[in-house]
């Protein structure tokens, strides 16, 4: 349905494709999700980083994939739950983040 590249330090949308929701609002809101998860991991003393965060809604999948090569960036993907293959979507999001050049 839609995808975006987001700067997690500012919540700013750097690029987008697709439609169906306000990606500027989604970028800012999901920045808070990423920040909260990082804060929680630190509080728990968990080592390592986040590969992705999956949010499952009634009709959609929302995937937040952190960009390994550029700390502070993430790819936000929104999929129609009835049409999407979640495993393939996660695989492709990981593949895209690995090849992303900023």
Q: Tens digits of per-residue pLDDT, 25-72?
A: 999 999 999 999 999 999 999 998 899 999 999 999 999 999 988 888
Looking at residue 19, its pLDDT comes to 86
Residue whose C-alpha is closest to residue 89's, from 65, 71, 57, 73? 65
Looking at residue 71, its pLDDT comes to 84
> What is the overall mean pLDDT for the chain?
92
Looking at residue 20, its pLDDT comes to 86
**DSSP secondary structure string for all residues of 17-77:** EE-SS-HHHHHHHHHHHHHHHHHHHHHHT--S---EEEEE-SSEEEEEEE-TTSTTEEEEE
pTM of the model: 0.89
């Amino acid at each position: 349905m839609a995808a975006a590249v987001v700067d997690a330090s500012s919540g700013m949308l750097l690029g987008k494709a697709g439609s169906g929701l306000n990606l500027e609002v989604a970028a800012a809101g999901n920045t808070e999700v990423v920040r909260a998860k990082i804060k929680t991991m630190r509080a728990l003393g968990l080592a390592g980083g986040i590969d992705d965060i999956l949010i499952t809604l009634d009709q959609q999948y929302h995937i937040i994939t952190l960009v390994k090569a550029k700390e502070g960036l993430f790819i936000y993907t929104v999929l129609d739950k009835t049409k999407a293959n979640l495993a393939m979507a996660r695989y492709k999001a990981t593949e895209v983040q690995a090849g992303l050049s900023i």
